[in-house]
Amino acid sequence: MTAEIIDGKALSFELKEKMKQEVADLKTVGIHPQLTVVLVGDHPASRSYVNGKKKACDETGIGSRIIELPKTVSESELLAHIHTLNNDPQVHGILVQLPLPDHISEQMVIETISPEKDVDGFHPVSIGRMMTGMDTFLSCTPYGIITMLRSKNIPIEGKHAVVIGRSNIVGKPVAQLLINEDATVTTCHSKTKHLHQYTQTADILVVAVGKAHAIDASYIKEGATVIDVGINRLEDGSLTGDVDFQSVKEKAAYLTPVPRGVGPMTITMLLKNTIKAAKGLENREG
């Protein structure tokens, strides 16, 4: 068996083509979707992510603006910027690029963004609505993962899904979304003992541990679907995932690569959330 590759970059392109038309249609009725990204400091990785988001907005016709603030900005000044954006009817989505300097509370910033403009899906209101199966903005990476599974018609209902990782950004929300899709979900993490005994029973395995090649074929059930969320830079500068791609591809039925896997889908779902915000609360789609 050689795994079928779930190409996130190709799926992202396909979805953005549909969004392009959706945005054009909205503009004909006077709605111009707009995303504002706040960048604090000049962290190279953060700047790269922000530029990627702007490029994706440009490709789909979504308006975008980057507000750049020095790393010395006070928490109160940053929150004041967010309040201004909350009250600006022309801004549909607000994203504050993480991480933030140590003197600023990330949680305070997340909670200050209006839930109606929380296109990252991090606000406690968004998380609470997701937990209870209500319509909301879904966290972008988990949303992308579910979209990738659906794109290949991979059954989720009744399947055993194992998530390795319990971060607020990926692990916890993707576990909940899988539960919402009627999977039976096990969450594993750094304190889990005998990890193999859980992963070897997984029909769907989501790996988000942040360690290159942490999971090899010995962890995988024959015919499983393996979603690799990790992005690790090796000494030679190349990118690789948390999964040992070469060994796992001979055992899994479906596998996401790194790069070209989950990464491109994260930004794509951010665009989808921004369009959803532009349509307004009463017209939001699941």
Q: Are strands 160-164 and 184-188 parallel, antiparallel or unpaired?
A: parallel
Angle at 52 between CA 48 and CA 53, to 5 degrees: 120
Cβ-contact 146, 177 below 8 angstroms:
yes
Instruction: Please list the active-site residues.
Output: 53, 97, 120
CA angle (255 as vertex; 249, 258 as ends), nearest 5:
95
Residue 66 assigned as binding residue: no
| 231 is annotated as contributing to ligand binding | yes
Which residue, among 24, 52, 46, 116, has the nearest Cα to 267 in the 3D structure?
52
Question: Is 218 annotated among the ligand-binding residues?
Answer: no
Question: Which tokens go with 126?
Answer: 């968004």
Per-residue H/E/C for 160-211: EEEEECCCCCCHHHHHHHHHHCCCEEEEECCCCCCHHHHHCCCCEEEECCCC
Answer yes or no: is 286 a known binding residue: no
Residues placed in the known binding site for NADP(+): 165-167, 231
Residues placed in the known binding site: 165-167, 231
